[in-house]
Amino acid sequence: MRTLRISLIASVACGLGLFFSLSPAVAEDPTQEEMICALNPDCKMPFVDRRLRGVTSTPSARPALSFDITLNFAFDSADLSDESRIKLDKVAKALTDPSTEKYDIIVSGHTDAVGTAEYNQQLSERRAEAARNYLIDRHGIDSKRLIAKGYGKSQLLLPAEPNNDLNRRVQFQNASASVASSSSKPASNAASKTSTTSSSASSPATTSKESTSVRPAAEGSGL
């Protein structure tokens, strides 16, 4: 009887071990060291996005010299939570490291695809600005170094899963990489884009529902 009990316990333990080994790892933000390396062009260590652990769909390409973190806000608010402040404290240490403190940083807000484009654009701008202001006010980082931008739902991390929570993120990028990327684009592309923009602006069009600034109906939606 005792032998049977031991055998059953061993079987259960083995089953649990197999279950946890097959379960996807919990997504997490990069470590401070990984943040520093991601922003430093001289760091040769490959960057692995911890937030994507266990994700099976293909993510969009990560911009050069950048990393993402998840910041929690109250619904329809740009007020930082206590947890988000702790995360930004870690980011501040990465931005003031001797190997990164000479670089300007773009702080960009991104949302999921729930809600209209205009609503998400405005919300992402407010939240990127909130993160920027915290780094300046709390940690004394030079305001000239930090550039806040909002992209709304235009740059989804997981295009195949537009409503996935991982799309709601704040990204930090070495501004020199962004400038290099912009300057390397063919002039014809820029001209084409300008032409398209002016053409849309000059031609009359009906206002679409997508352009209306309407907030999502449920909590947890948006950035």
Gap between the Cα atoms of 181 and 122, Å rounded: 25
pLDDT given for residue 15 in this prediction: 47
In a domain, 4, yes or no: no
In a domain, 128, yes or no: yes
Percentage of residues in the chain having pLDDT higher than 70: 68
In a domain, 19, yes or no: no
d(CA 38, CA 42) in angstroms, rounded, equals 10
- Cα 79 to chain centroid distance, Å, stands at 17
Q: Taking a C-beta distance cutoff of 8 angstroms, is the pair 129, 184 a contact?
A: no
pTM to 2 decimal places: 0.74
In this prediction, the residues of the chain whose per-residue pLDDT falls under 70 are 1-27, 180-223
Residue type, 65: L
Residue 197 lies in a domain: no
- Model pLDDT, residue 184: 55
Q: Please check whether residue 157 lies inside any domain of the structure.
A: yes
Q: What is the pLDDT of residue 169?
A: 94
Looking at residue 193, its pLDDT comes to 39
Inside any domain, residue 82: yes
Provide the token pair at 54. Answer: 């266990």
DSSP string for residues in 72-91: -B-TT--PBPHHHHHHHHHH
Owning domain of residue 39? 26-183
Q: How many domains does the chain have?
A: 1
On whether residue 136 sits in a domain, the answer given is yes
How do residues 188-202 score in pLDDT, each as one tens digit?
444 333 333 333 444
Is there a domain that residue 137 lies in? yes
Query: What is the reported pLDDT for 51?
Result: 92
Contacts of 167 (CB under 8 A, 6+ apart): 110, 111, 112, 113, 153, 156, 157, 158, 161
Output the pLDDT for position 3: 54
CATH number of the domain that 40 lies in? Answer: 3.30.1330.60
